Chains A and B, each alone.
Chain A
């Protein structure tokens, strides 16, 4: 049985640091210096962009500013999401213990299996999943992003549990093409909170994920903390990348190792 380090350390008021920590762990795992890790974190109020997105194309920036919503970009692709304390996020960062190889679709498929199993354990009804989304009763409750490089894979996801969906639908600007494709008029019609669907709160979903993933993949989670190298790299990533306007608001790709 593989031991997986469980990190619960997060920075709810500093989404830039939350992102910096995810990337620091990924880089350290890829160097063979950090253990396989499962991490849970939350952000008090943040709009989180995929790395190929532009803030002004995806977000109502005036609304974000007026409502004190911080804008931060991930180092993975995919779409924009809104995080508040009613959204639970987790990351799985690991060497390839799962036979995934250099195949992103297989990575999504493998990690989504664990997520679906966990939400089913929590009695989330009518679960269906696509490559990186999960719907319950036809409404999106879960979105994931992933990447990999030699020596490491990274999967992180956001679950809507008790999120303010009015704020979510006000700050995210979803292109008409995407809404039309799904046959809806606004993003508000597309999303739902897990708490309303099955009564489970954030702690219950957190526990289901721990059980779901550990039993599915046969690993044991062991509470741990960040290594000194991870802390130091996260600080450098924070200062040189995630707290920078050029990264969060622009289209510049920034590499720090």
Chain B
């Protein structure tokens, strides 16, 4: 099942696109008008989310691990990212 979702953080739209099967995410793609430095850290976040269960604690753990690298996301908090990703639970679904 493919899912798309969109979340408006105080400074930035975060869109998540992912495959969800057995409540686990794969092919996660994060796009939007936020800032993230270094920019290629986005690939690390997408990698950490690969296979992650769509449960608050699992997503939160992946996001916390991501921030350990020192990545900066001005005006977008950890909680914003977790909330954006958890939006997949109720996002727009498309059967493959």
A and B associate: yes
Binding site for B on A (CB under 8 A): 50-54, 57-58, 75-80, 102-105, 108, 130-132, 145-149, 175, 177-178, 181, 251, 253, 255
> Which stretch in B34-42, B49-57, B59-67 binds the other chain?
B34-42
**Chain B interface extent, by class:** 20 to 34
A-facing residues in B6-58 (Cβ within 8 Å): 6-8, 11, 13, 15, 29-40, 42-43
Would you call B33 and A78 a contact (CB within 8 A)? Answer: yes
Q: Which of A77, A147, A175, A253 contacts B34 (CB 8 A)?
A: A77
Q: How far is the CA of A175 from the CA of B4 in the complex (A)?
A: 14
> What total of A-B pairs shows CB separation below 8 Å?
75
Using an 8 Å CB-CB cutoff, how does the interface string of B55-91 with A read, 1 for contact, 0 for none? 0000000000000001010110000000000000000
Q: Which of A76, A104, A177 contacts B13 (CB 8 A)?
A: A177
Would you call A253 and B39 a contact (CB within 8 A)? Answer: yes
**In the complex with contacts A52-B42, A131-B11, A177-B8, A80-B33 CB distance below 8 A:** yes
Would you call B36 and A177 a contact (CB within 8 A)? Answer: no
Q: How far is the CA of A53 from the CA of B36 in the complex (A)?
A: 12
Would you call B29 and A52 a contact (CB within 8 A)? Answer: no
**In the complex with contacts A177-B8, A181-B8, A77-B35 CB distance below 8 A:** yes
Q: How far is the CA of A184 from the CA of B92 in the complex (A)?
A: 24
**In the complex with contacts A80-B33, A105-B74, A108-B74, A51-B11 CB distance below 8 A:** no
A-B contact pairs, 29 of them (CB 8 A): A50-B33, A51-B39, A52-B30, A52-B33, A52-B42, A53-B33, A54-B31, A75-B39, A76-B35, A77-B39, A79-B33, A80-B33, A102-B70, A103-B72, A105-B72, A130-B11, A146-B35, A147-B35, A147-B37, A147-B39, A175-B8, A175-B13, A177-B6, A177-B8, A178-B8, A178-B13, A253-B39, A253-B40, A255-B40
